[in-house]
Amino acid sequence: MMSFLRKTRIARPVYAALTALVMFSTFACEPGQTELAASAEHESGAADASTTNRIDIPPSVRQNLGITFVTVEKRPVRTTIRLPGQFELRPDARREYHVVLPGRIELLVEQYERVERDQPLFHLDSPDWLKLQSELVSARNAMKRSHADLAVEEARLAEAIKAIAFLEARRMNLAEAQVRQVALEADLAEKRNTLPRLRAELVAARAEFEAAHAHYDVMLSTASSFSGIDVQQLDPGRDEHGHGHLETGDPPWRSIHRLTIRADASGVVDRIAVTNQGWATTGGLVLDTIDPTALRFHGDAIQTDIQLFADGQRARIVPPQGGSIALQDTVDGVIEVGFQAHAQQRTIPIMLVPSTLPSWAKAGVTAYLEVYIAGHDGDVLAIPESAVIRDGLERVFFRRDPSNPNKVIRTVADLGVSDGRWVEVASGVMLGEEIVLGGVYPLMLASSSSGERQKGGHFHADGTFHQEDSD
């Protein structure tokens, strides 16, 4: 027992001495070796910092986390005024089909059916059309009689002129033989006296001829207006003034027993005002069609900003945020300032007629109209406000790695002016680069913990983040 205690008392001073020697040797290293160790430690820390701002996002992860991208673009953030509004149909988008004759309707289309130009819409079986055909028959017969009467009067005048010429020649022959025929001279005088009457009758016959043609043309035009069929198609030979077309058979309008109303333009059937086989009165609405592409955007600006707007200013229609529509699925154009303000709402309409339409543009869909009151002046690099997220005291966004599309780079935001939807980016991005728009929050959680950045890592296919080992 005494021997063990003696050994213990000896070992303790030796251990203390060895410890002091090790510590002395550590602090007694050469200056160059100390700097080298510090440099290595700094480089190791820098390497860790350079790798922690990159996160792997393979396609499966992007799908599970709902990660979407938006490109950096140049925008006049400082001079943008955003107006709420909606798409609406232009006045020429709707076409109504009324009946000008009463009759029974046979529908050939369904509601919301898409129709093309000249497609039959409905049949009209009208007794008044049959009456009109009867009047056309009478007018055509009167025209036939006028042709015949004119031909008779022309022939009578021609015969009288020939008879006078024959009698004058005979009288001249007898005069040369010094023979006078009193009866011949009386007959010649009588023929000459009939010429004024025959000429007047010919003029009257021509007037009847023209009147009959005019009446037939009016009736034919009326039939064209009622039926919607061109006059030339109803009677191709109506312009001929000879007798030939009156002897070749009946014109096409004689075979039309009921009217077929066709579409004037392509569109979609909107309202159907009568039932199938129902009776429509004169002037009644049967159906109407709309052209869904004949749209304009109607925004409303407050009247105090009226001096900021002018016809021809550059503008853009943008979809609302947070839906299924891509943020940059927009339409550019120029505005027209309304000529009449709304007194109760204290607003003035701002219109834009787009030259092209996105797939989401429908009548009644709400959106926003971004008006650039300074044109292209002041364009700056900008990203959506919703792509920027706060992480502690920092505001960050995630930029897609240009060299590897399956990685994103965490970037501390250097932001400028915001218009409420887009914000100016002073540094850290280039025009056309992709920025994460959807799925920003899980990326922020993966790159930060309690205000301090995590080590580098990657996402699994199920969307969970795995932190890499620090060693």
In angstroms, rounded to a whole number, what is the distance separating the alpha carbons of residues 120 and 118? 6
pLDDT for the residue 459: 59
Pair 135, 122: CB distance under 8 Å: no
Residue finishing a domain among 290, 308, 339: 290
- Asked whether residue 459 falls in the same domain as residue 325, the answer is yes
Instruction: Write the pLDDT tens digit of every residue in 89-109.
Output: 999 999 999 999 999 999 999
Q: Is the pLDDT of residue 142 over 60?
A: yes
- Does one domain contain both 168 and 112? no
Interval 314-371: pLDDT, tens: 999 999 887 788 888 899 999 999 999 999 999 999 999 998 999 999 999 999 999 9
Same domain, 393 and 458: yes
Q: What is the CATH number of the domain that holds 119?
A: 2.40.50.100
342 with 369, same domain: the answer is yes
Q: Where residue 317 sits, what CATH number does that domain have?
A: 2.40.30.170
Shared domain for 263 and 153, answered yes or no, is no
pLDDT > 70? residue 72: yes
- Within this chain, do residues 269 and 185 fall inside the same structural domain, yes or no? no
Q: Are residues 332 and 461 in the same domain?
A: yes
What does pTM read for this prediction? 0.66
| 168 vs 172: CA distance, rounded Å | 6
Question: Are 410 and 445 part of one and the same domain?
Answer: yes
Has residue 349 been placed in a domain?
yes
In a domain, 382, yes or no: yes
Lowest mean pLDDT among 21-35, 78-92, 398-412: 21-35
Are 83 and 187 within one domain?
A: no
Query: How much is the pLDDT for 32?
Result: 40
Task: Please report which confidence band the pLDDT of residue 456 belongs to, taking 50, 70 and 90 as the band edges.
Answer: low
Question: Which of 222, 250, 278 is the endpoint of a domain?
Answer: 250
Same domain? For 98 and 86 the reply is no
Instruction: Kindly report the three-state secondary structure assignment for every residue of the chain.
Output: CHHHHHHHHHHHHHHHHHHHHHHHHHHCCCHHHHHHHHHHHHHHHHHHHHHHCEEECCHHHHHHHCCEEEECEEECHHHEEEEEEEEEECHHHEEEEECCCCEEEEECCCCCCEECCCCEEEEEECHHHHHHHHHHHHHHHHHHHHHHHHHHHHHHHHHHHHHHHHHHHHHHHHHHCCCCCHHHHHHHHHHHHHHHHHHHHHHHHHHHHHHHHHHHHHHHHHHHHHHCCCHHHHCCCCCCCCCHHHCCCCCHHHHCCCEEEECCCCEEEEEECCCCCCEECCCCEEEEEECCCCEEEEEEEEHHHHHHCCCCCEEEEECCCCCCCCCCCCEEEEEEECCCCECCCCEEEEEECCCCCCCCCCCCCEEEEEEECCCCCCCEEEEEHHHCEEECCEEEEEEECCCCCCEEEEEECEEEEECCCEEEEEECCCCCCEEEEECHHHHHHHHCECCECCCCEEECCCCCEEECCCC
Q: Residue 45: count other Cβ atoms within 10 Å of its Cβ.
A: 10
Number of domains within the chain: 3
pLDDT of residue 22: 36
Q: 135 and 120, same structural domain?
A: no
pLDDT at 445: 87
Q: Are residues 401 and 418 in the same domain?
A: yes
Instruction: Output 44 or 286, whichever has higher pLDDT.
Output: 286
State which residues form the domain around 236. 128-250
